């Protein structure tokens, strides 16, 4: 049933409904600002860690859990892993913190996805279900426990 004449949409935006036309797409440079800014920040951090060797004492603070409890947290060895990764020594990076190297790979995939979506003008939304967060927490907990036990010494930095 058509709407009566006074209520029928009219004018140049009648085909779009009451909200009007869709917004104009943002320019490519503006869409790439956030992903490229994030990538530049992470690249700068990796460049710094690649330049300032974490294997030499005094450059970085000691992990509080390691200092006060003598236990390796999931991030212990992460700076040494990043330093080795920057220098192309994948075996040393995996030996320092294998979970961090996995994180570098996941970050690279997410960044590539974000850049492709930005170029295409699509929004980037990462919605992680609570079950995934619980799974990530379980992996981090298991990694922490195993690397602090005698049989998991290979995972210790």
pLDDT of 106 > 60? The answer is yes
Question: Which H or E run includes 90?
Answer: helix 90-96
Helices 78-86/28-51 angle, 10° precision: 100
Rounded CA gap, 120 and 123, in Å? 9
- Nearest residue to 156 (alpha-carbon basis) of 88, 94, 106: 94
Encode pLDDT of 18-51 as tens digits: 666 666 677 888 989 999 999 999 999 999 999 9
């Amino acid at each position: 049933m058509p709407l009566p004449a006074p209520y029928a949409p009219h004018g140049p935006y009648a085909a779009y409904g009451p909200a009007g036309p869709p917004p104009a797409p943002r320019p490519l440079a503006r869409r790439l600002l956030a992903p490229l800014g994030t990538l530049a920040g992470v690249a700068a951090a990796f460049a710094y860690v690649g330049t300032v060797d974490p294997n030499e004492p005094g450059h970085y603070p000691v992990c509080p859990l390691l200092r006060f409890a003598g236990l390796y947290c999931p991030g212990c060895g992460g700076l040494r892993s990043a330093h080795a990764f920057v220098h192309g020594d994948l075996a040393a990076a995996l030996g320092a913190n294998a979970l961090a190297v996995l994180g570098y790979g996941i970050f690279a995939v997410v960044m590539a996805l974000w850049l492709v979506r930005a170029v295409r003008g699509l929004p980037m939304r990462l919605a992680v279900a609570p079950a995934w967060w619980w799974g990530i927490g379980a992996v981090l907990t298991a990694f922490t426990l195993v690397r602090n036990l005698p049989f998991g010494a290979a995972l210790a930095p």
